Amino acid sequence: MRLFGKKGSERQRKALHTRILIGLLAGGVVGTALNLLLAGFPAYQAKSEFILATFVAPVGQIFLRMLFMIVVPLVFTSLTLGVTSLGDLSRLGRIGGRTMLYFFFVTAAAASLGLILVNITQPGMHLDPQVRENLIATYGKQEAQASGPRFGIDNLVQIVPRNPLDAAARGDMLALIFVSLMCGIALTRISSEHAAPVIGVLRGIGRITEVIIDLAMKFAPYGVFALILNVTGRFGWGILKQLLYFVIVTLVGLIIFQFGAYSISVKLLSGISPRVFFSKIRTVMITAFSTSSSNATLPTSMRVTEQELNVPGEIAGFVLPLGATMNMNGTALFEGVTVMFLAQVWGVHLGLLDQVLIMFLAVLTAIGAAGVPGGSIPLLVMILQTFGIPAEGIGLILGVDRILDMSRTTLNVTGDITAATFITRLERRAQTRRELREKTIV
């Protein structure tokens, strides 16, 4: 199965990548300049807010909605067709088991790196007490909105939905993944006569999503420009100065993992040159950075992974939708750093065993986090409360969460692609061994 054909020339793909990057940089420059120019004119700030909310923000939201619009049909068709293409359940179990093990170990490594960095640098010791009070006063009211969902046994039960259509409408990705897997398994257990028409319909829907993705990506440079302009025009980059140590530690951790750990992974586990790998996924990284959403980036990830990295459609269709929901390496690293940072700010001592537990909770809650902007915040509040850290502390980091969300989403999405290339290499080696055994027997 291959949902995405080789469409467009290499020159066209590079041109799209360049246009998106220009849109991102232009939005940041224009937004920051607008914020700085209006800083001394309170009367004009209200008008600027109105213009951004009325004319700029809707453009970015339309772009995001075009991507979110096709996530449910894309996940359902790609996962279901991926399972049917894998064929026998033993192969599905083998690929699924290897994928989940890769997700777990890489996510745990990311969370551990975050904890190591924050213990070395102690960023919470550098925050001015007055700045802390001001940030809580400004952003603390958002904490109540962030304290809804909890991660626990209920999440495990709700993976099996009572109403699949309701789960799809609510964007419950774990439930949607479960339904897709069940449908794919069922199609492998019925006769080809009955399965063929259903598979044909699913492939048709997959082709439709491909066309919509192409249309959405043509709009991407303008959508990205509007998204970044809206954020920087409202908040500027000034708040980064107030939480400089926290932001730097988090970004350094994300960069080390992005270009260090992933480079080692693709070189040793996937057999791909890191330079070639990152060159081919540039569009994916920029889309992830600008949208702050693994789900919104999924269509681009699947197309690039299949076309540029030659990952078979059945593996990409299985691993990437699963990863968009369950493989949150950047989120785990961010949560580890944030919990320790806020513990330092409030003077809460966390020993080695506490930090080991934080690592495991970061991994588990990263799996439960929604693949949308700010999706990890509600679960992060739960971890804070678990260790006796004031929940309103989340207000400290909400002011800079957007830039960190953009950065950690890039890590999340890259991790999904490294998993797909690793599983592809394992499967090709297994296929080669089978062919050699068959030749030997003959």
Query: Does residue 410 lie within any of the structural domains?
Result: yes
pLDDT at site 40: 67
| Chain mean position to CA 303 | 16
Can you say whether the dihedral through the CA atoms of 162, 165, 168, 173 is positive or negative? positive
Domain that holds residue 337: 61-179+236-441
- Is the pTM here over 0.95, yes or no? no
Give the residues of the chain that fall short of pLDDT 70: 1-17, 39-40, 42-45, 85-91, 126-156, 171, 173-174, 231, 234-242, 365-379, 381-382, 391-393, 395-396, 398-399, 441-442
- Residues 381 and 360: their CA atoms lie apart, in Å, by 15
Is residue 233 within 8 A of residue 387, CB to CB? The reply is no
Only one residue has tokens 């800083």, namely 39
pLDDT at site 262: 95
Is residue 277 within 8 A of residue 240, CB to CB? The reply is no
HSE-up of residue 67 (Cα within 13 Å, Cβ side) = 28
Question: Helices 71-86 and 294-309 meet at what angle, rounded to 10?
Answer: 40
Query: Does residue 389 lie within any of the structural domains?
Result: yes
- Residues 324 and 330: their CA atoms lie apart, in Å, by 12
- Residues 428 and 418: their CA atoms lie apart, in Å, by 16
- Among the listed residues 305, 261, 234, 233, the one whose alpha carbon sits nearest the alpha carbon of residue 28: 233
pLDDT at site 345: 78
Query: Does residue 36 lie within any of the structural domains?
Result: no
The domain spanning residue 254 has which CATH number? 1.10.3860.10
Query: Does residue 279 lie within any of the structural domains?
Result: yes
Query: Does residue 56 lie within any of the structural domains?
Result: no
Helix (H) or strand (E) holding 301: helix 294-309
Only one residue has tokens 């057999």, namely 271
- Among the listed residues 21, 135, 10, 115, the one whose alpha carbon sits nearest the alpha carbon of residue 393: 135
pLDDT at site 117: 92
pLDDT at site 235: 60
Q: Using one digit for the tens of pLDDT, what is the confidence trace for 335-377? A: 889 888 888 877 778 888 888 888 887 777 666 555 555 556 6
Is residue 118 within 8 A of residue 249, CB to CB? The reply is yes
- Residues 112 and 359: their CA atoms lie apart, in Å, by 6
Structural domain count of the chain = 1
- Residues 294 and 49: their CA atoms lie apart, in Å, by 28
199, two tokens: 């598979």
Is residue 232 within 8 A of residue 322, CB to CB? The reply is no
Strands, DSSP E only, in 176-245?
none
pLDDT at site 410: 93
Query: Does residue 215 lie within any of the structural domains?
Result: no
Q: Using one digit for the tens of pLDDT, what is the confidence trace for 224-256? A: 788 778 767 766 655 555 577 888 999 999 999
395, two tokens: 């207000």
Query: Does residue 329 lie within any of the structural domains?
Result: yes
- Between the CA of residue 158 and those of 164, 374, 379, what are the distances in Å? 11, 21, 16
* DSSP-assigned states of every residue in 344-391: HHHT----HHHHHHHHHHHHHHHHHS-SSTTTTHHHHHHHHHHTT--G
Query: Does residue 47 lie within any of the structural domains?
Result: no
